[in-house]
Amino acid sequence: MEYAILNPNHYMKNLLLILTLLALCVACGKDKDQEKIAGLETEVLAIHDEVMPKGSDIMSLKSQLSKKIQGIDSLQNVGVSSNTLAEQRMKAVDLNQKLNESDKLMMDWMHGYRGDSAKKLDPKEAVLYFEKEKDKILNVKQATLKSIQEAKTFLE
């Protein structure tokens, strides 16, 4: 029995077994990190893909608001004026600005997004990056949907 404990081959086998188990544990941990990163990236891109088509709604609404502003300006140019027209014009200009800001938020987000580079980071840093990007794109979504809804309500 003493021979087996003192046998260097026995130690090497145990050491190899321990190292193999450690390597498997590390690999499993990396796989879980990679799954989390992939899941976060998928969420971020899904939100982007949901909001991006709203750009055409923004352009359409901006066009309608511009026509509304031009119509009010035409009325004012022929001498028709009222507080209501002035308020409507101010509201239309404000809504147009909010639509521009929503569009700019999306463009800025897209220009700043570095998903491929983030995947090369340390897994913890990559997770943090994608969590921040998810927050950013959710803010873009919220601003976009709000500005579109407000403009549609105004134009009804």
Q: Which domains does the chain have, with CATH numbers?
A: 35-155 (1.20.120)
Is the pLDDT assigned to residue 24 strictly greater than 60? no
Token digits for 15?
Answer: 């050491």
Q: pTM above the 0.85 mark? A: no
Mean pLDDT over each residue of the chain, to the nearest integer? 88
* Nearby residues of 4 by Cβ (< 8 Å), 6 or more positions away: 10
What is the model's pLDDT at position 49?
97
For the segment 78-107, the average pLDDT, to the nearest whole number, is: 93
Angle of helix 123-155 relative to helix 83-112, nearest 10 degrees, comes to: 160
DSSP assignment of 63-128 equals HHHHHHHHHHHHHHHTT---HHHHHHHHHHHHHHHHHHHHHHHHHHHHHH--HHHHTTS-HHHHHH
Residue 3 has pLDDT above 70, yes or no: no
Whether 28 has a pLDDT exceeding 60, the answer reads no
